[in-house]
Amino acid sequence: MSQTQDQTIAAPDALCVLFGDQALLSILAALAHEEEETRIVGGALRDALFGRTVREIDLATTLLPEAVMARAKAAGLRAIPTGLQHGTVTLLAGEKTFEVTTLREDVATDGRHAEVRFGRDFRIDALRRDFTMNALSMAPGGRLFDYTGGLADIAARKVRFIGEPARRIKEDYLRILRFFRFSADFGEGPLDSAGRSAAIRQREGLVRLSRERIRAELLKLLCARRAVEVCAEICADGLLHPLLALAPNPARLRRVVAIGAGSPQDPLLRLSALCVTLPEDAERLRERLRLSNAEAERLEAAARALRGLHGLNEPPSHEELLGLLFRHGRQAAIDAILLTQADALPGHEGEWARARKFLIETTEPRLPFSGADMIARGITEGRAIGEALRELQTRWIKAGFPNDPARLAQLLNDMPRGAK
């Protein structure tokens, strides 16, 4: 089916089940009018057809935003003007939220933002979207509308731009990353060649995007089902290096995921695997991607823990693992061991797994001494207390992190006393 051939069919059961949502029905009832039309659009339909859980339902309508708000309030629903300039109103029905957006047409785009005017044509609204699989709409009566060939592409697991890929990308350069992310999440087989070629040709436009938008899209990509495969394609196309100002390592990412530890729910570990080796790498990513403090600190802590592990081809001893836990904390120690295994030569898989299990289950060592112990030994000057504690910590670590009272008392007694 060509992208311009319209198709209207009875919606399959996978979509009609959406109308079992009473909150949705209350929204549709509030907006119903004989001269207006409201449909379910976009991601909810795509996800349902892929057999995935539908978490959000978005609606498109011929009603203007002010009319949406008025009808919702008249029906006792809360209306929040979340994006009136773009025609979007968020409606609350019970505990659920629904974004309702007036049909739009693009007047002008600059690669980051679009100037729009409101319209009344669902087909025109569909044609301004990014990918064919995102352009479906469904009326309350159960009719499914496909103006772009999205149904065929969903069946084929193919992510394709609507119309001319270069034009879609020029409207919003973030669509380059979205193309790869959707291909990694929903696609199968080779990437669409026309989309990939256009993304490469238009890559200079990525520098015009805000770093926050790039960060959000990249982390979503790293969570995707085929993240490893598609990240390798992106790196081969030279698209990531300019964004990160670091040389990405897709082979290392592949090895971390193959170990079974870089889960889709942990995009930060996958980001570390892709491009963090040294603490300064983490600091650069903080700036390049506008990472939160917590995100950047996790990457940096892992890189600091990794410094003493470079070049290992088998796990450290239990005493050395305890040292990692003590100096860097559990999360950083686990991250560093995973990255070390990914960098190591193949082999010792069982030993690496036991090392990870040890780090997960072992209580983090805590120095069992304090400044009060030093004062009790006659050391009262602040700087001297700090130096004595550091020396005692070194001896305690060298002794293997003992915790039995007799051994701790011996370590303390072996320390020099202060002046009486």
Kindly indicate the confidence band of residue 112, based on its pLDDT and cuts at 50, 70 and 90.
Answer: low
Query: Which segment, 235-249, 259-273, 379-393, is predicted with the most confidence on average?
Result: 235-249
Sequence-distant (≥ 6) Cβ neighbours of residue 303 within 8 angstroms: 272, 276, 277, 278, 279, 281, 282
Residue at 110 is within a domain = yes
Q: How many folded domains does the chain comprise?
A: 2
Residue at 24 is within a domain = yes
Model confidence over 143-164: pLDDT tens digits? 999 999 999 999 999 999 999 9
Kindly indicate the confidence band of residue 111, based on its pLDDT and cuts at 50, 70 and 90.
Answer: low
Model confidence over 332-383: pLDDT tens digits? 999 999 999 999 999 999 999 999 999 999 999 888 888 888 888 888 888 8
- Is 359 in contact with 325 (CB distance < 8 Å)? yes
Which of 136, 156, 176 marks a domain boundary?
A: 156
Residue at 76 is within a domain = yes
What tokens were used for 304? 């600091």
Q: Is the model's pLDDT at 420 over the cut of 70?
A: no
Torsion of CA 399, 405, 406, 409, to 10 degrees: 80
Strand pairing class (96-102; 58-61): parallel
On average, the pLDDT of the chain sits at: 91
Residue at 92 is within a domain = yes
Residue at 118 is within a domain = yes
Q: What is the CATH number of the domain that holds 105?
A: 3.30.460.10
Which of 156, 182, 197 marks a domain boundary?
A: 156
Residue at 305 is within a domain = no
What tokens were used for 343? 């960098």
Residue at 335 is within a domain = no
Q: Which domain holds residue 384?
A: 371-413
- Can you list the positions of beta strands (E) in 157-208? none
Q: Give the pLDDT confidence score for residue 2 in this predicted structure.
A: 42
Q: Give the pLDDT confidence score for residue 393 in this predicted structure.
A: 85
Which of 156, 172, 188 marks a domain boundary?
A: 156
Answer yes or no: pTM beyond 0.85.
yes
Residue at 419 is within a domain = no
What tokens were used for 20? 């079992």
